[in-house]
């Protein structure tokens, strides 16, 4: 495929191969952009931001709704592309397509709702003759840098709100999974998005991504990915808006009064969706000592029931990790934990890029798995005796995206909600629960700002205050 620059599809001699992580098969190639392409693209984005700013709300809405309808009409083509270039099974990929359609539709609705407020200037003495309000104005050009695990919907989460808010947006998708983003760009082009308002550039992150981040014409950087890259962005970004979603090491607390059927089912799904390559992955499960043995037995049984295999097979529950280097790293972290004294309850086996659903217990606090995000199908079980202790352990990492608690007791639920240092608490759902309309983001090392369509629209706009001094009287 070609990349989408200045309203046209362009190619370059140097190529990036897009390979199926399942078996290394070549799917397609995309251009490897140069620094000269960045200048071309941002010059077009300068024109695009002026056009986008003047687009009326109904035009923004029409474009987003039309693009959503086009994606929905090609649902299976999008799903197959997500599955082939990435790590999701076909059933997981279909759900991502449905979510992307919803994300664009919600974005269209937020274009309708983007308003300001009146201001009571007469709350201050001698301002009785002043009237005013504020509006919300687009920030300008937004650089959107997206990861491989949700190659369509996480692009939609940046592009949809950017269009709704009247911005121009430049997307730099992960070089391993660029095809879904390019297909989204085509749907937007066919829906009538003006030239320069949306562009997708393909290239290596360190060269293309760093150039975008540093360029003063870019007024906001929206990044989803790893903490190390997020920290590097902060070193280069300069004075501009930044939204960072940097992952987590999500904790779940299971109380003795929990519905065990629900807790086991929800957390097995949360642990092994997309082979654990998910910022909301259930990595740490704190289970009360009264129910630990029963929960552990049932959770391990659930992990063993997963079918790991070819992504396009309708019966497959879990596919591969993104590449062999990542699979080897997961294998190394599990081996390190076992060598340090952790007990392997199931899994721990790698075959190429595939890694079996894995459950550990008795993990020493010194192990990387206890502190860092593994981004793989590995979950650790811990015993606890008091809720305060479980909350303290849950908070004892430099992440804070989402946490969860399973209980029937409202008082206990509210104690956990108040005590957990995270951006979201799910009660009787795993940490992997999310809808695309809710504010989404974390605290501590999990990032800055909030996604979720309405929250992203607000992040992508600036308030502008207007005040009239009515010299002729009211």
Neighbours of 229 (CB within 10 A): 19
Alpha-helical regions (H) of 305-419: 324-339, 368-371, 387-394, 410-419
Could you tell me if 224 and 147 are in contact, meaning their C-beta atoms sit under 8 angstroms apart?
yes
Q: Which residues of 272-302 are buried (b: 16+ CB within 10 A; e: fewer)?
A: bbbbbbbbbbbbbbbbbeebbeebbebbbeb
Domain ranges (residues) in the chain: 3-247+442-465, 250-427
In a 3-state reduction of DSSP, which class is residue 69? helix
Neighbours of 15 (CB within 10 A): 13
Question: H helices then E strands: how many in the chain?
Answer: 15, 22
Could you tell me if 404 and 426 are in contact, meaning their C-beta atoms sit under 8 angstroms apart?
yes
Mean pLDDT, the chain cut into blocks of 10 residues (474 residues total):
96 96 97 94 97 98 98 98 98 98 98 96 95 97 97 98 98 97 98 98 88 96 94 92 96 98 98 97 98 98 97 98 97 97 97 98 95 97 98 97 98 98 98 96 96 97 97 70
- Which residues are registered as beta bridge partners of 118? 133
Neighbours of 395 (CB within 10 A): 16
In a 3-state reduction of DSSP, which class is residue 251? strand
In a 3-state reduction of DSSP, which class is residue 128? coil
Q: What is the pLDDT of residue 474?
A: 59
Question: What is the CA angle 78-282-298, rounded to 5?
Answer: 110
pTM, two decimals, is 0.96
> What superfamily would CATH give domain 250-427?
Aldehyde Dehydrogenase; Chain A, domain 2 (3.40.309.10)
Crossing angle for the helix pair 179-190 and 75-85, nearest 10 degrees? 160
- Which residues are registered as beta bridge partners of 19? 26
Q: What is the pLDDT of residue 473?
A: 60
DSSP state of 157: H
Catalytic residue IDs: 245, 279
Beta strand 424-427 pairing with 141-145: unpaired
Q: What is the CATH number of domain 3-247+442-465?
A: 3.40.605.10
Task: Compute the distance between CA of residue 416 and CA of residue 111 in angstroms, rounded to an integer.
Answer: 36
Q: What is the pLDDT of residue 381?
A: 98
């Amino acid at each position: 495929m070609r990349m989408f620059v200045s309203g046209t599809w362009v190619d370059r001699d140097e190529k990036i191969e897009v390979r199926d992580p399942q078996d290394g098969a070549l799917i397609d190639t995309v251009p490897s952009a140069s620094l000269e392409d960045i200048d071309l693209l941002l010059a077009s984005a300068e024109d695009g931001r002026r056009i986008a700013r003047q687009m009326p709300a109904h035009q923004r809405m029409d474009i987003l709704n039309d693009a959503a309808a086009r994606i929905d009409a090609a649902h299976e083509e999008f799903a197959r592309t997500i599955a082939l270039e990435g790590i999701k099974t076909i059933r997981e990929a279909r759900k991502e397509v449905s979510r992307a359609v919803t994300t664009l539709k919600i974005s269209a609705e937020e274009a309708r709702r983007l308003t300001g407020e009146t201001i009571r200037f007469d709350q201050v003495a001698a301002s009785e003759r002043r009237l005013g309000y504020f509006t919300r104005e687009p920030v300008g050009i937004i650089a959107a840098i997206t990861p491989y695990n949700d190659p369509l919907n996480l692009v939609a989460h940046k592009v949809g709100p950017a269009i709704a808010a009247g911005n121009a947006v430049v997307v730099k998708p992960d070089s391993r999974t660029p095809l879904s983003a390019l297909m989204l760009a085509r749907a937007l082009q066919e829906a009538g998005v003006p030239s320069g308002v949306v562009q997708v550039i393909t290239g290596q992150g360190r060269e293309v991504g760093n150039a975008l981040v540093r360029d003063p014409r870019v007024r906001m950087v929206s990044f989803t990915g790893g903490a190390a890259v997020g920290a590097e962005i902060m070193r280069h970004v300069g004075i501009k808006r930044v939204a960072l979603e940097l992952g987590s090491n999500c904790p779940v607390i299971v109380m003795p009064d929990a519905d065990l059927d629900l807790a086991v089912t929800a957390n097995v799904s949360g642990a092994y969706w997309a082979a654990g390559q998910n910022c909301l992955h259930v990595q740490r499960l704190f289970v009360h000592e009264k129910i630990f043995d029963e929960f552990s037995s049932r959770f391990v049984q659930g992990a063993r029931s997963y079918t790991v295999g070819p992504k396009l097979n309708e019966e497959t529950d879990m596919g591969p990790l993104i590449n062999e280097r990542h699979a080897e790293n997961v294998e190394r972290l599990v081996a390190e934990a076992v060598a340090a004294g952790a007990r392997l309850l199931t899994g721990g086996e790698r075959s190429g890029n595939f890694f079996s659903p894995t459950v550990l217990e008795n993990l020493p606090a010194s192990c990387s798995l206890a502190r860092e995000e593994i981004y793989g199908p590995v979950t650790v079980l811990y015993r606890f005796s008091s809720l305060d202790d479980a909350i303290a352990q849950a908070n004892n990492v430099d992440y804070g995206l989402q946490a969860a608690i399973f209980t029937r007791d409202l008082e206990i639920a509210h104690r956990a909600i108040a005590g957990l240092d995270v951006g979201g608490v799910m009660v009787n759902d795993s940490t992997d629960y999310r809808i695309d309309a809710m504010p989404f983001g974390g605290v501590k090392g999990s990032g800055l700002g909030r996604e979720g369509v309405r929250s992203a629209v607000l992040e992508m706009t600036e308030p502008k205050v207007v005040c009239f001094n009515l010299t002729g009287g009211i």
